[in-house]
Chains A and B, each alone.
Chain A
Amino acid sequence: MWFFKSPEIVFGEAALDYLDELPGRRAFIVTDPTLHALGFTERVAARLRKAGLETSCFAEVEPEPSLETVYRGAAAIREFAPDWIVGLGGGSAMDAAKAMWVLYERPDLRADEISPLVTLGLGAKARLIAIPTTSGTGSEATWAFVLTDTAEGRKLGLGSRETLPTLAIVDPALTMGLPSVITADTGLDVLAHAVEGYSGLWRNDFSDGLCLKAMEMVFEYLPRAVADGNDTEAREKMANAAAIAGLGFGNAMAALAHAMGHALGAVFHQPHGRCVGMYLPYTIEFVARRGDGRYADIAHALHLPGQGEGATPRTAAPCWMDEAEAATALVAAIRGLMRQIGAPVSAAGMGISLAEHEAALERLCDLAEADTQIVTSARIPDRDELAALFRYAYDGPTVDF
Chain B
Amino acid sequence: MAHLFPSADWVAALETAINHSPAYASSAKTWEGDFHFVIEPGERIVEPVKIYLDLWHGQCRGAHLVDGSDGATPEFIISGPLSVYRRIFEKKLDPIQALMSRKLKLQGNMGKVMRAVKATLDLVNCAASVETVYEVEREA
- Chain A interface (Cβ < 8 Å from any Cβ of B): 1-3, 112-113, 115-118, 156-158, 201-202, 369-372, 374-376, 380, 382-383
Q: Given the complex, which residues of B lie within 8 Å of A380, measured CB to CB?
A: 118, 121
Q: Is the Cβ of B103 less than 8 Å from the Cβ of A1?
A: yes
Interface set, chain B 91-107, CB cutoff 8 A to A: 94, 96-97, 99-103, 106
Q: Given the complex, which residues of B lie within 8 Å of A383, measured CB to CB?
A: 23, 26-27
**Closest A residue, CB atoms, query B93:** A1
**Closest B residue, CB atoms, query A365:** B26
Q: Is the Cβ of B97 less than 8 Å from the Cβ of A202?
A: yes
Which 8 residue pairs spanning A and B have beta carbons closest together?
A115-B110, A116-B100, A369-B118, A117-B110, A383-B26, A375-B117, A375-B121, A112-B111
Q: Contacts A2-B101, A115-B111 known; A202 to B116 CB distance under 8 Å?
A: no
Q: Bound complex: CA of A323 vs CA of B60, how far in Å?
A: 39
Q: Bound complex: CA of A1 vs CA of B87, how far in Å?
A: 13
Q: Bound complex: CA of A297 vs CA of B101, how far in Å?
A: 28
Q: Bound complex: CA of A370 vs CA of B101, how far in Å?
A: 21
B120 at the interface (CB under 8 A from A): yes
Q: Is the Cβ of A370 less than 8 Å from the Cβ of B115?
A: yes
Q: Is the Cβ of A382 less than 8 Å from the Cβ of B23?
A: yes
Q: Contacts A117-B102, A202-B94 known; A157 to B114 CB distance under 8 Å?
A: yes
Q: Bound complex: CA of A117 vs CA of B111, how far in Å?
A: 10
A-B contacts, 8 of them at CB < 8 A, read A1-B103, A3-B101, A118-B110, A201-B94, A370-B116, A375-B94, A375-B117, A375-B121
Q: Given the complex, which residues of B lie within 8 Å of A2, measured CB to CB?
A: 97, 101
Q: Bound complex: CA of A113 vs CA of B109, how far in Å?
A: 7
Q: Is the Cβ of A117 less than 8 Å from the Cβ of B26?
A: no
Interface set, chain B 79-135, CB cutoff 8 A to A: 94, 96-97, 99-103, 106, 109-111, 114-118, 120-121
Q: Given the complex, which residues of B lie within 8 Å of A369, measured CB to CB?
A: 27, 118
Interface set, chain B 15-41, CB cutoff 8 A to A: 23, 26-27
Q: Is the Cβ of B26 less than 8 Å from the Cβ of A382?
A: yes
The minimal Cβ–Cβ distance linking B12 to chain A, given in whole angstroms, is 26
Q: Bound complex: CA of A157 vs CA of B99, how far in Å?
A: 16
Q: Is the Cβ of B96 less than 8 Å from the Cβ of A372?
A: yes
**Closest A residue, CB atoms, query B26:** A383
Q: Given the complex, which residues of B lie within 8 Å of A117, measured CB to CB?
A: 99-100, 102, 106, 110
B23, B97, B102, most chain A CB atoms within 10 A: B97
Q: Given the complex, which residues of B lie within 8 Å of A375, measured CB to CB?
A: 94, 96, 117-118, 120-121
With beta carbons under 8 angstroms apart, the residue of A157, A202, A374 that contacts B118 is A374
Q: Given the complex, which residues of B lie within 8 Å of A118, measured CB to CB?
A: 110
The minimal Cβ–Cβ distance linking B67 to chain A, given in whole angstroms, is 29
Q: Given the complex, which residues of A lie within 8 Å of B117, measured CB to CB?
A: 370-372, 374-375
**Closest A residue, CB atoms, query B118:** A369
Q: Bound complex: CA of A3 vs CA of B100, how far in Å?
A: 10
Q: Is the Cβ of A1 less than 8 Å from the Cβ of B27?
A: no
Q: Given the complex, which residues of B lie within 8 Å of A201, measured CB to CB?
A: 94
Q: Given the complex, which residues of A lie within 8 Å of B111, measured CB to CB?
A: 112-113, 115, 156, 158
Q: Given the complex, which residues of A lie within 8 Å of B102, measured CB to CB?
A: 117
Q: Bound complex: CA of A187 vs CA of B118, how far in Å?
A: 29
A115-B111, A117-B106, A380-B118 given; name 8 further pairs at CB < 8 Å: A1-B101, A113-B111, A116-B99, A116-B110, A117-B102, A370-B117, A372-B117, A382-B23
Q: Given the complex, which residues of A lie within 8 Å of B110, measured CB to CB?
A: 113, 115-118
Q: Given the complex, which residues of A lie within 8 Å of B27, measured CB to CB?
A: 369, 383
The minimal Cβ–Cβ distance linking B124 to chain A, given in whole angstroms, is 10
Q: Given the complex, which residues of A lie within 8 Å of B97, measured CB to CB?
A: 2, 202
Q: Given the complex, which residues of A lie within 8 Å of B115, measured CB to CB?
A: 370
**Closest B residue, CB atoms, query A380:** B121
Q: Bound complex: CA of A215 vs CA of B90, how far in Å?
A: 33
Q: Bound complex: CA of A383 vs CA of B23, how far in Å?
A: 8
The minimal Cβ–Cβ distance linking A127 to chain B, given in whole angstroms, is 23
The minimal Cβ–Cβ distance linking A1 to chain B, given in whole angstroms, is 5
Q: Bound complex: CA of A372 vs CA of B100, how far in Å?
A: 12
**Closest A residue, CB atoms, query B99:** A117
Q: Bound complex: CA of A389 vs CA of B43, how far in Å?
A: 45
Q: Bound complex: CA of A113 vs CA of B115, how far in Å?
A: 12
Q: Is the Cβ of A370 less than 8 Å from the Cβ of B100?
A: no
Interface set, chain B 26-83, CB cutoff 8 A to A: 26-27
The minimal Cβ–Cβ distance linking B25 to chain A, given in whole angstroms, is 10
Q: Bound complex: CA of A382 vs CA of B119, how far in Å?
A: 11
Q: Bound complex: CA of A1 vs CA of B94, how far in Å?
A: 11
**Closest A residue, CB atoms, query B27:** A369
**Closest B residue, CB atoms, query A373:** B117
Q: Bound complex: CA of A116 vs CA of B110, how far in Å?
A: 9
Q: Bound complex: CA of A376 vs CA of B94, how far in Å?
A: 9
